[in-house]
Structure 1
Amino acid sequence: MKKFLALILTVVMMVTISACGTTKESSGADKNRKFETATKEVTDKATVYPLTVKDATGAELTFDKAPERIVSTSPSETEILFALGLGDKIFGVSDYDDYPKEAAAKPKVGGVTKPNEEAIMAANPDLVIGGISMKDDIAEKFRGLDLKVYKTEPKKLEDILNNIIQIGIITDTQEKAEELVAQMKEDIRTVTEAAATIKEEDKKKVYIEFSPGWTVGKGEFMDELITMAGGVNIASDMKGWNAINEEKIIQDNPDVILYSANVVDDKSGKPLEELIKSRSGWDKITAIQEGHLTGIEGNIMSRPGPRITDALKQIAEAIYPESFQK
């Protein structure tokens, strides 16, 4: 449980998602201007090399050809790479990479914050991708070792979509990237259009506990996912990640409770759902009285990658099962 909480806090502490991606597709040249990264246009979905891009740190990287040996130090970016069909070009992943199952079999290169430089060097990569948890100074240190480091730092849902497109451009898999983004945008459209039909007075109050004793307020993407699904996060009067106030939650009386599935509390040894139900006075909460508790896989909710819209759909289904049916 401690490892789970540490990873969740590490991966998402700096992530805020405040807007969904536009549903209008643009040309390759438009994408380059919008993302302010690629300085070469993409023609007929094939990347033109040499290609110069700028990452989240402002560093410029030039690729003479599509990378053949990639190391990813971030579970989210690893998921993107696999989704783009680049599994055979991945020669190292972080210790936390576990999806898809093929990722678990890849050589490990350490943690997401400070990866093991010896392990990365041994992989002889021509591209190292760092996620939001990699500090800028670590990225610079690796660049000083002649490693080509591309760091992402998505702060909203649109950033995630843009990252997928940009990684597709770098790796000459733009067509696959655009297909993936189109599907994600369709998920967003489906949810937001249905949510728009919910009257303000009918919106349900939602409480989310992503780890025992912790909830999330404004400025983080879990809050935005609840809002996009048409719910009202009872912790939206706070910002960021917060230890819970049990009495306040009773007073707020949520209609729906969401929690990370398959999580066990270190102190009590209880599964998170059981812990929530057993708290003093919580039996008075509407969500518990009516059995409106839903567990969602923590990694899907916490990783800013291809499955983030799966989390959106699951959250929508949990809040309004009558409107969002599988």
Structure 2
Amino acid sequence: MRIARPTSAVLVLAALTLSACGGQGSPESESGATPAEGFPGTVTDARGEVTLDTAPERIVSLSPSSTEMLFAIGAGDQVTAVDEYSNFPEEAPVTDLSGFTPSVEAISEHDPDLVVLAREAEETAEQLEQIDVPVLVMPAAVTLDDTYAQMRLLGEATGHANEAAQAAGEVEAEVDGIVEAAREEIGDTDLSYYHELDDGMYSVTSDTFIGQIYAEFGLTNIADSVDDTAGGYPQLSAEYIVEQDPDLVFLAYGGADAADDLADRPAFDGIAAARNGDIVELDPDIASRWGPRVTDLAASVAEAVTAADQG
């Protein structure tokens, strides 16, 4: 079953490392007035309070999830440069800037008045602030609520508080609607699943952002039962996966033959997902980001779950 086609060659494990390392939870706004009504304003990022004296006009975003959020909340025209993996939306000004190992010199060439970084780039934030460049460090979302909160924070930081609140509300309502419709159709399900990050059989537990999305649909995660969950991203063995016999397999990486290759592994043709054609190829970008396209991820999971339940 192919729910969504891969759209980029980004390695999923690398994207998850950029997204998830070094922090949990969501920054929250502490501004007394919406940025659209004027600056200065203060917000709280992964490190603490950040005061912005004026509305930023030249934003550099080095986090794909944040880039998608900025465009979704109406701040896209202020974004002058994004990292090499921020490939959505199409109008995002992609450069060769690295979000993994940011270069202060390279960032400075874009003359930013706000830089948005992933949590693992915190040292770069300190270096940028030494040359008077304001920085927001965004932690990895742990829950869907974190996604909505980060959209609102970026709205306040960029002068789009009202638009961000509306956009976040729309994403939340759409996700809730997708989940509710699927749960009404399938009822209480005993379907199990295996989410594969790459062909090395790295997976996710229900404690991760992606794992919690599956949990919304009432699915049982086979990775939750391993002895060593490795911080939410365990490497499973082929024997364990076959023994657990998942009803659904979700592949979060690209490759035209990914589903066939998995089914061709020794003994994998006997697991329920392979027998019933319930190996789902997810868009690797959507599956590794917590931005506004989480609605697309929820829709893909809902479609797969509904099909498997009816089958």
Shared fold (TM-score greater than 0.5)?
yes
**Change beyond 3 A, Cα 1:215–1:155:** same
The corresponding residue for 1:137 is: 123
The corresponding residue for 1:56 is: 46
- Correspondence 1:174 to 2:134: no
After TM superposition, list the pairs within 5 Å mapping 1:138-157 onto structure 2: 138-153=124-139, 154-157=141-144
**Change beyond 3 A, Cα 1:175–1:142:** same
Higher relative contact order (CA 8 A, sep 6+): 2
**Cα separation, 1, equivalents of 2:183 and 2:265:** 34
The corresponding residue for 2:145 is: 158
Residue 249 of structure 2 aligns to a residue in which SS?
strand
Q: Give the number of equivalent residue pairs.
A: 296
Contact 1:71 1:90 in 2 (8 A): yes
Contact 1:94 1:108 in 2 (8 A): yes
Contact 1:108 1:119 in 2 (8 A): no
**Cα separation, 2, equivalents of 1:124 and 1:310:** 34
Letter in 1 for 2:110: A
**Change beyond 3 A, Cα 1:193–1:5:** closer
Q: Which moved more, 1:312-321 or 1:159-168?
A: 312-321
Unaligned ranges ≥5, structure 1: 19-33, 265-270
Residue number among 269, 287, 303 corresponding to 1:301 in the alignment: 287
> Offset at 1:17?
8.5
Residue 31 of structure 2 aligns to a residue in which SS?
coil
The TM-score with structure 2 as length reference comes to 0.86
Residue 307 of structure 2 aligns to a residue in which SS?
coil
The corresponding residue for 1:218 is: 206
> Offset at 1:295?
0.7
Letter in 2 for 1:122: E
The corresponding residue for 1:46 is: 36
**Change beyond 3 A, Cα 1:156–1:100:** same
After TM superposition, list the pairs within 5 Å mapping 1:188-267 onto structure 2: 188-194=175-181, 196-197=183-184, 198-200=186-188, 202-213=189-200, 214-238=202-226, 239=229, 240-260=232-252, 262-263=254-255
**Cα separation, 1, equivalents of 2:106 and 2:36:** 32
Deviations 1:186-226 (A, max 9, x none): 123213324554554x3211111121122111321111111
**Change beyond 3 A, Cα 1:108–1:133:** same
Residue 61 of structure 1 aligns to a residue in which SS?
strand
> Offset at 1:175?
2.2
Percent identity over paired residues: 29
> Offset at 1:174?
1.8
**Cα separation, 1, equivalents of 2:275 and 2:87:** 36
**Cα separation, 2, equivalents of 1:12 and 1:62:** 24
Residue 320 of structure 1 aligns to a residue in which SS?
helix
Contact 2:242 2:268 in 1 (8 A): yes
The corresponding residue for 1:185 is: 172
Residue number among 285, 303, 311 corresponding to 1:317 in the alignment: 303
Residue 150 of structure 1 aligns to a residue in which SS?
strand
Letter in 2 for 1:227: A
The corresponding residue for 2:75 is: 86
> Offset at 1:35?
6.2
Unaligned ranges ≥5, structure 2: 1-7
The corresponding residue for 2:3 is: none
Letter in 1 for 2:31: T
The corresponding residue for 2:62 is: 73
**Cα separation, 2, equivalents of 1:10 and 1:61:** 25
The corresponding residue for 1:28 is: none
**Cα separation, 2, equivalents of 1:17 and 1:186:** 23
**Change beyond 3 A, Cα 1:5–1:189:** closer
**Change beyond 3 A, Cα 1:323–1:5:** closer
